[in-house]
Structures are given as structure tokens and as C-alpha cells.
């Protein structure tokens, strides 16, 4: 118990907190998925997520305040999309230094409103406190029909693995400040097809796929030639960079066929789900297989 | 627009953000009450609140971590109680320094669980990020029947003003770390009586009463001899100290009579609601009246 947080990492800390938390029967998913899922009625589920952005970690004093606000709301919106849900109501906490310019806060708020308007979110409340470092917390609710909610633990051997867009180099390209949470794509997918598992890529393709693999007790093979790369990205960046905020999802071969033949959105078929004992393999453009270690993506400690 | 936050204050910032935020029709109360109130069904309302606690402002490195965790959850629980609601589900963000001991976080979490268990809250999710300063954010949902929800804007001339417990000296006495959110008292009040307005005292009796007076467009007279004082408090401390987390509420004279004749809880009758033009008056033990200025309570900037 003398361990420091740095030696445990974010996922370790979440695992420890989860193991020490018990919930009542109306909680369908607690700590550990993209959002919590709570029973609202027999047909409706309430989704609940929270994201903290810290100056010096997620943004700097030189970041555009509008972009900070936009990103703060969109991170949470992306979590709701990853569950198959529709974002609804946000409460926002500002920890700000007394010396900060009102104009800076108002521009952050403007960025938040841009995101809120785009994705149908109502900003309904908040808290403002003094803090040496600027900190923003967005807590967001969402709604999903009980039969449309998608979790991390439903991937089956034989399922196909898809992503909604290009990966890698999100930080250097500035994508991490102007990304589009895939709410429309998510709604299209859950309303038209049976999605077996889904997550948004915030930590990196490999770390986030690993959440699905662990949750579903399966392995996967990724085809490098199929992984869509952002400008100036390579396969390593696509695998580990993080903050792409694309959706990563799995479907049965039958559903995959239908998805590949539709024209409304481009979804990239990047791999297959295999037995857990196989682990995670990557096939390069020459057809060579290599084992992928769960390396660090964008981790917070 | 070159103003700094320090010159505006927390309430000023909230007012500015509120004026710049619009909401859809299912939002019954947005920014500015103890919690947001959102329509869940024709009979049910979802309450939503968020509170940020910052090291160096709301607690120090020397504070008991269990007490920090307890307080973090209870601040939000108190907000839900102030609406007449029952607390339900919490999502918690931790911003922690990499050098922090796991043990410290686990003890904060233990304090959170103590509070959660006591008030029937499920901790259903969270976020953990790196931060120089330790920061905790608790976002909490609650539920209330549509006809039981109590706001800040319903006080009427002639109403009586009550509080649920002793006031003042909360910080020095340590009460601010071990207070009891008045959920039971709130449930008793809203289920048995017609409460015209309610708020929890976090900023101080006078600043929080002022929220009711401004919201309801009324004035008030307080009787100093009736204000219950915590040990080592005086009337000035009771008026301005903050972090008492007692409920401040108003009821009609008829309801007040019933409340004063019940035996289940002690509620203190401390004043009357009067016309707005009278402002806020305080009557001392000699019967001398003085005008009370909206002085600063526990403000954050």
C-alpha cells in the first residue's frame, strides 16, 4: 500500500477502485465502461460520464480557449456515442486562477456551447471554484434504449473489427482539439445493425481494443494494410497515439457484410476477433504476423 | 472584457455564464439553483449537480483523506437535499499528482464510500487524470417527484424562514468535514408540508438567503435571538461563515405552525419574508433593527 500512483497507471487505479465499489440493482454498468449505465425505466437507460481536463496535461495556457471548451464537451459526447447513446445534459465545473481573464473563460464557454449545440447537449449547471491550475470537468448524461446499448464485453470469436475514421498523429495534427464525436455514425450503427461491442479510441487503438478483448475474453488480429492512417501517421502512431475519438466496434460476419455494402458512412474493416489464447496479432503489408504487446498509449500517469 | 475573475466573483461568473446559455424544453431549471432539474417523465424529475474540491482551497495536504472523500460526496448530496430530492448516482473525477501515494487515494475513496452508503448513493463511474494539484470532482444525480421539487424562487411575503441546524464556525470546528447532509429532514419536509423555497447553506446564511430573496423578489427580517449558533460561533459567523450545509427554507404561516408543533425534527424559526423594498433586516436581542448588506460569505475568488 506504499505504491505511488505513477507505478500503477490509470487503468490499474480504475481496476482497484472498481473492485472496492458495489452498486444497487438499478446500476447496469458501473465503473469501467465508457459510461455508467443506469435503469431509467424498463425501456430506457440513463448514461452518465465525467471527464476532467487539466492545464499542462490536456491543454496549455497557449491553447485556443474555444478549442479547449469544444474538446472538453466533445470528450464526454464521444463516451456517450461509444455506448450507442444520445448526449443530453451537461454540468460543468471550472477551477480557475483568480488572475485569469474573464475573456479566457468566456471563450472556453463559447467553445463548449459550439460543441453543445452541434450535438444537442444542454449545459444545465456547474460549479466555479478557485484553483492554482486551470481545471475543467464535464459531466454528461445520455440516453439509450435498453436494446440498443452497446458494451465492451460482447465481442465474439469470428466477429469483424471496424473503426469509423483515420487514426494516429492526433496531437501533432491538432485533430485532438477539433475532432467530431461519432454520434451520427453510432446512431446509424445501433439502429440499423447488431453491434456486439464498441468503445471510443481515446487512449489509442491497441489500448482501447485491449479493453474490448479483456472485457469480452477474446483475442484479435489486425491487418495493418486496412488501418486508415491520418496524414503523417504510421502504423505505430495509429496503434498507440490516442485521442482519435473514432469508434472501434465489432460485428458478426453477417452484419459486417451489410455494413460494407451500405453507402451512407465509410467504416473501415481492420481485423477479426479470435480466441483469447491467440492474444493480439498484427499482420503487416507483407503478410508477416507479429504479436502486439499492450504497450502504453496516451496514459495519464 | 479585460476583467479578471477575482474582480467578478463566483456569483458574477455564474450569472454571466447563465445569461449566455439557452436550454431545450425538457430543462426545467438550468444554471443557478442548487441543482439542474430535467424532465424524466410527466411525474419524475432528474436532478443533476457538480462540485469541484481543490487542494489548497477546500482541503490541504494535511486534511484527513477519508474526511476529504466524505466531504466531496456530501457537498453534492446536500445540493440534492436542497431541491427536495433523493441522491442516486455519482461519477467522480480524480486529478492526482503522479507522486501521490495510492493509500491516500484509497482513503479518499473510502470516505466517499462511507458517505455514499449513508445516503444511498451509487458511485457508478469516474475519470482519473494527472494534475499538479489534487482535484476532485463529484457529479451526482438525484430524483424528485415533479410536485415535490423545491426551488429558490417560491418564497412569498408573510412566509416564515427556517433552518435545520446550528450555524457558524464550521471551518474551525471541523464541522465542514463531517457534516450531515439533511436528506432525511428534506424528505420529511417535502412529503409532509408545502415548502415554498429551499437552499442549502454553503456560502453562508446571508449570501444563501440572498439567493432566495433575489430569486423570489422579496425581502426578509432575521431575529438574531432565534438563530441557533454552533459552539464558539456568534451572529456574524452564523451570517457569513459558510459550509454549514444546513437547509434554509420558507413556508406559509399555516405550515410553519404545523412544523413547530411536530416532534420528529428540530427546525429553527429564524425570520419572516417581507416586501422586496424592505431588503434584509436583522433584529438584535435588544430589538434593534439594522440593515444587512450582502457581505461576502465563503466566496471562491
The separation between CA B205 and the C-alpha centre of its own chain, rounded to angstroms, equals 10
Q: Which of B197, B176, B200 is nearest to B81 (CA)?
A: B200
Within 8 A of A132 by CB-CB distance, chain B residues are 54, 56, 132-133
Residues B50, A138: Cα–Cα separation, whole Å: 9
Pairing mode, strands B27-29 and B36-39: antiparallel
Residues B160, B166: Cα–Cα separation, whole Å: 18
Per-residue confidence (pLDDT) for residue B298, from 0 to 100: 46
Domain check: are B68 and B191 in the same one?
Answer: no
DSSP-based three-state secondary structure for B197: strand
Q: At which of A116, A145, A174 does a domain end?
A: A145
ipTM of the complex: 0.87
Say if B8 falls within a structural domain: no
pLDDT (tens digit per residue) in B146-194: 999 999 999 999 999 999 999 999 999 999 999 999 999 999 999 999 9
Interface of B with A in 15-74 (CB under 8 A): 16-17, 20-21, 23-24, 26-27, 29-33, 35-36, 38, 40-41, 46, 48-54, 56-58
| Chain A closest-CA separation from residue B266 CA (Å) | 31
Interface of A with B in 110-139 (CB under 8 A): 113, 120, 122-133, 135, 137, 139
CATH of residue B103: 3.30.1330.10
Share of chain B above pLDDT 90, in %: 74
Say if B178 falls within a structural domain: yes
For the segment B273-288, the average pLDDT, to the nearest whole number, is 96
3-state helix, strand, coil in chain A (%, to 5): 35, 30, 35
8 A C-beta contact, residue B198 and residue B148? no
Per-residue confidence (pLDDT) for residue B188, from 0 to 100: 98
Domain check: are A165 and A271 in the same one?
Answer: yes
Per-residue confidence (pLDDT) for residue B227, from 0 to 100: 98
Q: Name the residue facing A301 among B101, B113, B130 (closest C-beta).
A: B130
Q: CA nearest B7 in A: which residue?
A: A98
Domain check: are B256 and B200 in the same one?
Answer: yes
| Element at A172 (helix H, strand E) | helix A170-173
Q: Which of B162, B164, B163, B275 is nearest to B216 (CA)?
A: B275
Domain check: are A90 and A186 in the same one?
Answer: no
Instruction: Give residue A13's pLDDT band: very low, low, confident or very high (50, 70, 90).
Output: low
Q: At which of B96, B122, B145 does a domain end?
A: B145
Say if B127 falls within a structural domain: yes
Average pLDDT for chain B: 90
Within 8 A of B40 by CB-CB distance, chain A residues are 40
Domain check: are B194 and B106 in the same one?
Answer: no
Cβ–Cβ below 8 Å for A57 and B129? yes
Domain check: are A74 and A120 in the same one?
Answer: yes
* Nine cell digits for residue A9: 497507471
| Chain B closest-CA separation from residue A82 CA (Å) | 15
pLDDT (tens digit per residue) in A104-151: 889 999 999 999 999 999 999 888 888 988 999 999 999 999 999 999
Q: pTM here?
A: 0.90
Per-residue confidence (pLDDT) for residue A10, from 0 to 100: 60
Beta carbons within 8 Å of A55's beta carbon, 6+ residues apart: A61, A133, A134, A135
8 A C-beta contact, residue A123 and residue B21? yes
Instruction: Give residue A1's pLDDT band: very low, low, confident or very high (50, 70, 90).
Output: very low
CA atoms within 13 A on the CB side of A91: 34
Share of chain B above pLDDT 70, in %: 89
- Quote the Cα angle for A81-A85-A89, to 5°: 95
Domain check: are B208 and B176 in the same one?
Answer: yes
* Nine cell digits for residue B115: 458517505
Domain check: are A175 and A286 in the same one?
Answer: yes
Domain that holds residue A177: 160-291
- Which residue's C-alpha cell is 507479429? A290
- Which residue's C-alpha cell is 461568473? B13
- Output the CA torsion sign for B157, B158, B164, B167: positive
Domain check: are B166 and B126 in the same one?
Answer: no
Cβ–Cβ below 8 Å for A135 and B52? yes
8 A C-beta contact, residue A202 and residue A240? no
Say if A233 falls within a structural domain: yes
Domain check: are B274 and B178 in the same one?
Answer: yes
Interface of B with A in 84-103 (CB under 8 A): 88-89, 91-103
Q: How many domains does chain B have?
A: 2
- Output the CA torsion sign for A277, A79, A239, A300: negative
Per-residue confidence (pLDDT) for residue A44, from 0 to 100: 93
Domain check: are B193 and B239 in the same one?
Answer: yes
Residue A97 has pLDDT above 80, yes or no: yes
CATH of residue B237: 3.90.650.10
Cβ–Cβ below 8 Å for B126 and A14? yes
DSSP-based three-state secondary structure for B161: strand
8 A C-beta contact, residue A177 and residue A70? yes
Say if A86 falls within a structural domain: yes
8 A C-beta contact, residue B213 and residue B220? yes
Domain check: are A19 and A140 in the same one?
Answer: yes
Q: Which of B169, B164, B201 is nearest to B186 (CA)?
A: B164
Say if A193 falls within a structural domain: yes
DSSP-based three-state secondary structure for B266: coil
Residues A243, A59: Cα–Cα separation, whole Å: 13
pLDDT (tens digit per residue) in A253-290: 999 999 999 999 999 999 999 999 999 999 999 999 99
Say if B3 falls within a structural domain: no
DSSP-based three-state secondary structure for A124: strand
* Nine cell digits for residue A114: 459550439
Q: Name the residue facing A27 among B54, B56, B122 (closest C-beta).
A: B122
Q: Give the DSSP letter of residue B292.
A: P
For the segment B77-99, the average pLDDT, to the nearest whole number, is 94
Helix axes B9-19, A102-118, angle to 10 degrees: 40
Residue A298 has pLDDT above 50, yes or no: no
Say if A273 falls within a structural domain: yes
Residue A39 has pLDDT above 60, yes or no: yes
Residue B213 has pLDDT above 80, yes or no: yes
Query: First-to-last CA distance in chain B?
Result: 18
Residue A234 has pLDDT above 90, yes or no: yes
Residue A200 has pLDDT above 90, yes or no: yes
Q: At which of B116, B145, B174 does a domain end?
A: B145
- Which residue's C-alpha cell is 479493453? A211
Amino acid at each position: 500500500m506504499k505504491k505511488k500512483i505513477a507505478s500503477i497507471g490509470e487503468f490499474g487505479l480504475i481496476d482497484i477502485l472498481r473492485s472496492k465499489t458495489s452498486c444497487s440493482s438499478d446500476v447496469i454498468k458501473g465503473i469501467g465502461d465508457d459510461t455508467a449505465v443506469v435503469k431509467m425505466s424498463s425501456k430506457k437507460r440513463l448514461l452518465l460520464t465525467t471527464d476532467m481536463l487539466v492545464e499542462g496535461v490536456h491543454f496549455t495556457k497557449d491553447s485556443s480557449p474555444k478549442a479547449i471548451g469544444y474538446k472538453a464537451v466533445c470528450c464526454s459526447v464521444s463516451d456517450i456515442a461509444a455506448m450507442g447513446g444520445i448526449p443530453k445534459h451537461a454540468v460543468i465545473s471550472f477551477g480557475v486562477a483568480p488572475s485569469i481573464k474573464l475573456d479566457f473563460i468566456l471563450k472556453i464557454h463559447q467553445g463548449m456551447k459550439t460543441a453543445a449545440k452541434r450535438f444537442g447537449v444542454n449545459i444545465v449547471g456547474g460549479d466555479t471554484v478557485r484553483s492554482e491550475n486551470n481545471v475543467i470537468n464535464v459531466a454528461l448524461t445520455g440516453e439509450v434504449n435498453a436494446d440498443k446499448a452497446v458494451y465492451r464485453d460482447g465481442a465474439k470469436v469470428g466477429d469483424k473489427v471496424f473503426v469509423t475514421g483515420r487514426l494516429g498523429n492526433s496531437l501533432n495534427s491538432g485533430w485532438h482539439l477539433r475532432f467530431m464525436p461519432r454520434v451520427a455514425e453510432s446512431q446509424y450503427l445501433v439502429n440499423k445493425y447488431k453491434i456486439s461491442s464498441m468503445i471510443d479510441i481515446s487512449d489509442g487503438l491497441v489500448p482501447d481494443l485491449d479493453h474490448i478483448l479483456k472485457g469480452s475474453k477474446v483475442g484479435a488480429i489486425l491487418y495493418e494494410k486496412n488501418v486508415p492512417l491520418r496524414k503523417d501517421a504510421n502504423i505505430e502512431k495509429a496503434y498507440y497515439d490516442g485521442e482519435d475519438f473514432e469508434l472501434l466496434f465489432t460485428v458478426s460476419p453477417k452484419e459486417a457484410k451489410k455494413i460494407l455494402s451500405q453507402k451512407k458512412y465509410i467504416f473501415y474493416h481492420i481485423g477479426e476477433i479470435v480466441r483469447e489464447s491467440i492474444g493480439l496479432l498484427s499482420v503487416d503489408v507483407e503478410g508477416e504476423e507479429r504479436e502486439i504487446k499492450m504497450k502504453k498509449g496516451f496514459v495519464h500517469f
